[in-house]
Every structure is written in structure tokens, then in C-alpha cells.
Amino acid sequence: MNVNIQKLNGLWHLIVGSCQIRTPFLEAQDRALVVAYARRVYPGARIFERD
């Protein structure tokens, strides 16, 4: 499974397939928090980061 992390409308979003999932993290927060969150929610997924 592939998970893309992207900033959109002031929040970080996870994009899984065709689903866009809003995270509780603001755009100003550290990307490492979002990556850790994505790894916890989707264990074993490949994480891709986009700006």
C-alpha cells in the first residue's frame, strides 16, 4: 500500500489510493509527526512525501 503525505488548505493530508484523509496536524507542524502518524495508522505502508 502506498500513502502520500501532502499539505492542503493549511492541514496535512494522507492520500491512500483515491481517498484523501485529513490529519489532525496543521501545516506548520513538523513533517516527522505526520510520518509517524501515517506509520502508526497504516503499518507496513510505503510513505511518500509531496509538497
Spatial CB neighbours of 35, under 8 Å, sequence gap ≥ 6: 5, 47, 49
Distance CA 22, CA 32 (A): 16
User: Which residue carries 503499518 as its cell?
Assistant: 43
How many Cα atoms are found within 13 Å in the side-chain-facing hemisphere of 31?
9
What integer pLDDT is reported at residue 1 of this predicted model? 86
Give the whole-number percent of the chain exceeding pLDDT 70: 98
What confidence category does residue 42 fall into, taking pLDDT thresholds of 50, 70 and 90?
A: very high
Which amino acid type is present at position 29?
Q
Average pLDDT, the chain: 91
What integer pLDDT is reported at residue 51 of this predicted model? 65
